[in-house]
Structure formats: C-alpha cells, structure tokens
Amino acid sequence: MKKKILAACLSAAMVAAMLVGCGSKPAEDPAQDETPTEDQAEEPGGDEAEEPTEDETEEPTEDDTASGELLPGGGSNILYCITPSTSNVYFKTVQDIATEKGTELGYEVKCFSHDDDAATQLEMFEAAIADKAAAIICDNAGADASIEAIQKAYDAGIPTFLVDREINQAGLAVAQLVADNAQGAAAIAEAWVEAMDYKGQYAELLGLESDTNCQVRSENFHSVIDEYPDMEMVAQQSANWDQTEGYEKTEAILQSNPDITGIICGNDTMACGAVQACIDAGRDDIKIIGVDGSDDAAKYIKDGQMVGTALQQIALITQMAVEQADAYLNGTAPEEEKQLVPCVAITADNVDKLSSFVYTE
C-alpha cells in the first residue's frame, strides 16, 4: 500500500517536471514585439499625464515655476545626501559626487546611509529638517515607504531631489532623476545584435524575475533582438543577479545548447559569471552583454571577453540633481519632475572612457 502511494507521488512529480520541462521555452517571443517599443515611446508622456490627476493641489509647483511658489529651503546652506548602504560602490558614488559637486557650488554636504530602512530614512529627514537643510538629495528606501519622509520635508519647506529610484507619488519631490533602463537595454542589445552578425542561437540570463528592473531590461532586449528573424533564443534562465548562479547556469546551458553564440544578461554580475564559464569551457566565440557599467565588466570588455554593457550614469544623475537643487534654490525649478537619464552603451570602442560609473566624453 505504502509502496503504491510512493510510486504515485514519484510519478506525479516526474510528469509535472516533464510537462514543465518541455513546454516553457519560446512561448513569449511574438507578443513582445510591439509592447516594449510602445512603452518606451509613451513613458515620458504618460508620466506627465498622470501627474495632475494624481495630485491636483501640487500642480502650481510644477507649472507656475516663476511665480514664487518654490519651497524656500530650511535656511542654512547644508545639503543632505541620503542613500542606501555605501558598502555598494554604486551608492558610494552618489555620496562622493554629491559631496564634490555640492562643495564646488558652495554648500556644506552631509552624507548619511539609511540601509534601505524607511524608518531610519525618516529619522534622517527629521534631522535634516532640524538642521534647517537647504535641500535633500535622496536615493530612497522604497517607492511607497519613503513618501512620508519626503512629505515632512515638503511641509517644512525643504525641497527633495530623488536620484536613482522613483517614488509612487508625484508632486512631492521637486525632481526624480532615474536611469532609463529601457533605453539602455535596447541600446546595448543593438550593439550586441551587430556583433552577432544578426543571426544565431543565444541564451538569456534573467535577474530576479519578480524585480521590475529584470522585466524592463528583458523586454527591451527582446524589442530589439526579436526584430531579427534569424536570431533564436534557445534558453532563458534566471540567475538571480548572482555571479555563481550565472556561472553554473551558463555551464548547464552550454551543455544542452552547445550551438549558442551569444548570451544576454540582466546585469553585469551575472555576465561576469557567464564570461568565466565560457572561458573555462574554451568558448571564446560567445558574445556576452550585461547592464550596469561596473568596473568588472569594463575589464572584460577591454579584454574582448564581453561585447558590452549599458552604463547607468549614476554619477551624472547625482551631478544633475545637485545642479538642479542649486538652481531651484536660486529660483529656477526643473521643467519636469520625472527625468529619465539615458544610459550609455559601453563597447570596446568607448570602454576607456568609463571608470567607477563615470563616463567622460
């Protein structure tokens, strides 16, 4: 009897695995052709349309910029720069650039890390209010969880400039400057398709599949690649943004699909793992791209082991935020709240201009 139950369970598991195993590969290709391009075109327009309906009382701050409705600032000349943990070089760049640019423009810059904790972030905003800060530059701790803190600063008359991450409410922050993931992914995909000579089989390593960034990047990779009928995706796997997983998944994919000549990755960390797996397998013909613009990827691009990456210009974004804060305090508000800063496609041609997320023309 028990043997029977065991047998039934095992066979059920096998059947499930078989059904899943063989059914889920290419299904999504055709549908994606149109949607992402539309998204891309509509994004800026869509945002503008949303703003007034969402929060009508704030409309004056946006439109009547010259009519003296600007937030006055706290009164001192201190800039607060609040970011996630600086143990990540990416966020450290935000603080470094804010300090450099702020000091240059004559401000005293104070930097803090909220470690992605909205409560800590709120305390820091309160400290900024008590300190009579002129403006706050913030890489926030959550699209919804940060609204309260920014509202407090708004009520105290201190303008907030968001970098890198958006919040889910318009009209509170003076500006929200974020990298244009969609455009970046599409741009590097263009370079990659050219390197692939517009044909061949390839694999895709996705990030954490529940992450918006992962979806946006993948969609926009395909908006470009799926235009070419000779390009065929034979494997699509998640490697959870992780280097070891990128390495192991690439090895497994190479085993089952030795004919691939390209791998597209949702970020540079996974791309670095994929590069190493290809080196170990003796495959120097495989074209790999990532997104981020990290120094590790830059090294591989210089060595010719990676085709390219899409740089999120976090240094430029921060610099723009500080400049706009300075302009705002002097009476000129930015034209739009939501500003998408384009990514730069980094390939062997321009990789020398990239260092620590800074791209120098």
Partner 1 sequence: MNTKKTNSNQMLMTLLKGRTFIVLIILVIFFSVVKDNFLDPSTLTMVAKHVALYGILALGMTFVIITGGIDLSVGSVVGLVGMLAGGLIQEGLTLSFAGVTLYFSVPMIVIMMLVVGAVIGWVNGLIITKLNVAPFIATLGTMYICRGFANLRSGGATFPDIAGYEGLGNTGFKVLGSNIANIPAGVYVFAVLAIISVVLLKKMPFGWYVLGVGGNEKSARLSGIKADRVKIIVYMISGFCAAWVGMINTAQLSAAHPASGDGWEMNAIAATVLGGTSMAGGSGTILGTVVGAFVIGVINDGMTMCGVSEFWQKVIRGLVIILAVVIDQTQRNLQAKMALQARNENK
Contacting residues toward partner 1, per CB under 8 A: 2-3, 6, 9-10, 13-14, 16-18, 20-22, 24-25, 85-89, 92, 206, 209, 234-238, 240, 242-244, 247-249, 251-253, 255-256, 269, 272-273, 276, 279-280, 294-296, 299
173: its two tokens: 């922050």
CB nearer to partner 1: pick between 92 and 132: 92
Q: Shortest gap between Cβ of 107 and partner 1 (angstroms)?
A: 25
Contact (CB, 8 A) for 273 and 263: no
CB nearer to partner 1: pick between 250 and 324: 250
Q: Shortest gap between Cβ of 25 and partner 1 (angstroms)?
A: 5
Helix, strand, or coil (residue 280) = helix
CB nearer to partner 1: pick between 61 and 294: 294
Q: Shortest gap between Cβ of 57 and partner 1 (angstroms)?
A: 41
CB nearer to partner 1: pick between 89 and 119: 89
CB nearer to partner 1: pick between 90 and 107: 90
Instruction: Please choose, from the candidates 245, 354, 244, the residue with its C-alpha nearest in 3D space to the C-alpha of residue 299.
Output: 354
Read out DSSP for 272-322?
HHHHHHHHHTT-TT-EEEEEE--HHHHHHHHTTS--EEEEP-HHHHHHHHH
Q: Shortest gap between Cβ of 182 and partner 1 (angstroms)?
A: 23
Tell me the C-alpha distance between 200 and 7, whole Å: 43
Q: Shortest gap between Cβ of 193 and partner 1 (angstroms)?
A: 22
Ordered strands of the 78-83 beta sheet = 108-113, 78-83, 135-138, 160-163, 175-180, 338-342
Contact (CB, 8 A) for 310 and 184: yes
Q: Shortest gap between Cβ of 196 and partner 1 (angstroms)?
A: 20
Looking at this protein, which amino acid is placed at residue 139?
A: D
307: its two tokens: 């085709």
Q: Which residue has the tokens 């610099």?
A: 319
Cα R_g (the chain), whole angstroms = 23
CB nearer to partner 1: pick between 7 and 119: 7
